[in-house]
Amino acid sequence: MAEHRIKVEELREKIPLLHAGDRVLLSGVVYTARDAAHKRIVSRMDANEPLPFELCGACIYYAGPTPAEPGAVIGSCGPTTSGRMDRFAPRLLDAGLAAMIGKGERSADVVEAIVRNGAVYLCAVGGAGALAAQSVKSCREIAFHDLGCESIKRLEVEDFPLIVAIDAQGNDLFK
């Protein structure tokens, strides 16, 4: 197992070097989105409407951060169970999504889409939302404000600690 320090904008070129079990310290812009936000993104895709952010090369973090305490950038920001996004993930990967961050196993359809698109699935430590929040340097809500903590947020992260759970060759840490 190797350790990689990667910027989000370098993901596409670095993904082929990543292997299931490798550690990643990720820096750059990631977007939070959970089930309700994914449903709206796909609805916008179906209606050929503008998306809240550019999918091509993007990284989505399956999280619904809690409100920040005074003086803090963000509240607790742990990953949610990724399987809840499995019905949407292949469509987003086919549209250019480079990486997903969450926790837990993924369906065979998602693994096939990861391989087909040369993407990667990264896992954050579940139950450690306060730890994840330490890597967040800025947070701005950008879409679906009515969803509260599940709205889409643009996060700037620095050295966010992750594990490669499913690599671009389909190697799966959960198998």
Where in the sequence numbering do the catalytic residues fall? 38
DSSP alpha helices (H): ranges in the chain?
11-14, 35-46, 89-94, 108-117, 129-133
CA distance 11 to 6: 7
HSE-CB for 22 with a 13 A CA cutoff:
23
Identify whether the C-beta of residue 99 lies closer than 8 Å to the C-beta of residue 92. Answer: no
138 forms beta bridges with: 156
CA distance 173 to 77: 23
Q: Where are the beta strands (DSSP E) in the chain?
A: 3-7, 23-32, 59-61, 99-102, 120-123, 136-143, 152-166
